[in-house]
A and B are shown apart, each in its own frame.
Chain A
Amino acid sequence: MRPQTKLSGFALRLAAVFLALLFTTGILLLAGAPPLEAYRQIVVGSLGSIKKITDVLVAWVPLVLATSGLLVTFAAGLWNIGIEGQITLGAIFATGALRLTLASSLPPAAAIAAAILAGILGGAVWALLAGVLKTFGGVNEIFGGLGLNFVAVALNVWLIFGPWGRPGVASMSGTEPFPDFLALPALAGLRLSPWAVLLAAAGFALVFFLLQGTYFGLRLKAVGKNPRAAFLLGIPTVRYTLLAFALCGGLGGAAGAVQVTAVYHRLIPAISSGYGYLGLMVAMLVNYQPMWMPVVAFFFAALNIGSIQLPIVLKLDSSLAGVLQGALVLFVLAVEGVRQRLRRSPAKVAE
């Protein structure tokens, strides 16, 4: 029985992928663009060469870190949409730490480590703010998080144009780049830093272990499924909720710190690059289970990188990747809903 349901589940997912491709193709045809050529550009632009593949991994690292964090909050039944702000705060804290070490005589390795730790702290603090608003203020975490996202962006832009602005003219291109020795070492000739990949792998491993192999994970899931029952069984639900927020914020903050230390080497206005929102979609697509998350995250990162050249080559907008990603999640939800309906109705008849 079990293998059969697994197989039909797989077939349904495949159907969802097919429907999403169909949907996107329809939109492209309506807009008068050649769909096959667009898809070919995305594949070539993301997997066409070693350099492109490492570029995908550059995007994969923050995406995996953010999604790992989101899996924790989802397990606790929380919609941490504030992850974008948490990534931004992580980047801000990391930049602040690097600026401090510039003035001191700390060795570069220690400075970078301090920056990443500061990023984790920054993200956790911002997430705890949303958590406290929820647990003690009765503010839904979606609205609290969205509000804090706006505050984080404003804070970021203020820092870039104000106190941390470039000497002379502050500009949208960000703060003054840090010297090379304050960057996570990258592979020769590429933008990818193996240390960043290691950090993402560690973040994922931590969450995987926490959720699948510890009592902490089990209790967290209990809080997510039924907070009142969990509380009556003796789980301190408020503490667990806050911990889930802090863990998610910490991982999001690490993603922000990586953006600063390994990708941009400075603070830019769009430092979070939408990886938080993208992470929410990845988490939905893997049904909030960690197992296949890194694979799906790689696929999403590849779509993002592959669509970069669409505006240049085909005069299409690169948000096409977003359409495909969104349609994928949408149709997986639809297929799941239909399956639940079908499963329910024969049972009703039997009764």
Chain B
Amino acid sequence: MSTEALIIGLAGVLAAAAPIVFATLGETLTERSGVINLSVNGTILLSAMASFGVAVVTGSLLLGFLTGMLVGAGVALVVAGFSISLTQSQVAVGFVLTWVFRGPACLPWPFRSWRTSRSWAHCSFVRTC
């Protein structure tokens, strides 16, 4: 294998690892406090959809990132509200949220054509993740 191919391969590994690292960091944080948060997958789907939408509409990568972080915090707030204020099982709530958020993440949203005419995000590939 040539050096160039090796570098491209390693770069691919790094790119693919980034989301896993972020998810693991967050989950480790919650696990440390004794909370099982099963909603991580749903969080990723929903914040990916939201941040991508915002980034496309506004043209700003930074705003997209910010939206993703805010949405993620919002989902965690839902889990916290259900388990702390409403005393329901955190496992149950987290698990269910993954299902609830898979749908919105997969719908073809209308703001797709604001800037460009080509359509984006047809969901068949988002679903497989």
Q: Which residues of A contact B (CB under 8 A)?
A: 27, 30-33, 79, 81, 140, 142, 277, 280-281, 284, 315-317, 319-320, 322-323, 325-327, 329-330, 333-334, 336-338, 340-341
Contacts and interface: CB of A to CB of B under 8 A. Distances in A.
B88 A336 contact: yes
B110 A330 contact: no
Nearest to B123: A317
B57 to A, nearest CB: 14
Given A325-B99, A329-B92, A338-B86, 12 more contacts: A27-B107, A277-B99, A281-B95, A284-B96, A317-B103, A319-B123, A322-B103, A330-B93, A334-B82, A334-B86, A334-B88, A337-B88
Contact of A330 (B91, B100, B123): B100
Contacts of A27: 103-104, 107
Nearest to B45: A319
Interface in B86-129: 86-89, 91-93, 95-100, 102-104, 106-110, 123, 127
A187 to B, nearest CB: 32
Contact of A319 (B87, B88, B89, B106): B106
B93 A333 contact: yes
A325 B99 CA distance: 8
B36 interface: yes
B109 A281 contact: no
Nearest to A336: B88
Q: Which of A30, A317, A323 has the most CB of B within 10 A?
A: A317
| Pairs of residues from A and B, 7 with the lowest C-beta to C-beta distance, nearest first | A337-B86, A323-B103, A326-B99, A326-B100, A317-B106, A32-B110, A31-B107
Say whether chain A's binding surface is mostly helix, strand, loop, or mixed. helix
Say whether chain B's binding surface is mostly helix, strand, loop, or mixed. helix
A319 B127 contact: yes
Interface in B62-88: 82, 85-88
26 contacts: A27-B103, A30-B109, A31-B108, A31-B109, A142-B36, A277-B95, A280-B95, A317-B103, A317-B107, A317-B108, A319-B127, A320-B107, A322-B99, A322-B100, A323-B103, A323-B104, A325-B99, A326-B100, A329-B99, A330-B97, A330-B100, A333-B86, A333-B88, A333-B96, A336-B88, A340-B87
Contacts of A33: 107
Contacts of B93: 330, 333
B38 interface: yes
Given A31-B109, A333-B96, A319 B103 contact: yes
A347 to B, nearest CB: 15
Contacts of B36: 140, 142
A322 B110 CA distance: 21
Contacts of A330: 93, 96-97, 100
Contacts of A320: 103, 107
A79 B91 contact: yes
B82 A323 contact: no
Contact of A315 (B97, B108, B109): B108
Nearest to B103: A323
B92 A284 contact: yes
A279 B75 CA distance: 23
Contacts of A315: 108
A284 B88 CA distance: 11
Given A32-B110, A316-B107, A142 B99 contact: no
Given A319-B127, A323-B100, A327-B100, A333 B92 contact: yes
B38 A142 contact: yes
A196 B100 CA distance: 30
A319 B104 CA distance: 9
Contacts of A323: 99-100, 102-104
Contacts of B109: 30-32
B44 to A, nearest CB: 15
A330 B82 CA distance: 9
Contacts of B96: 281, 284, 326, 329-330, 333
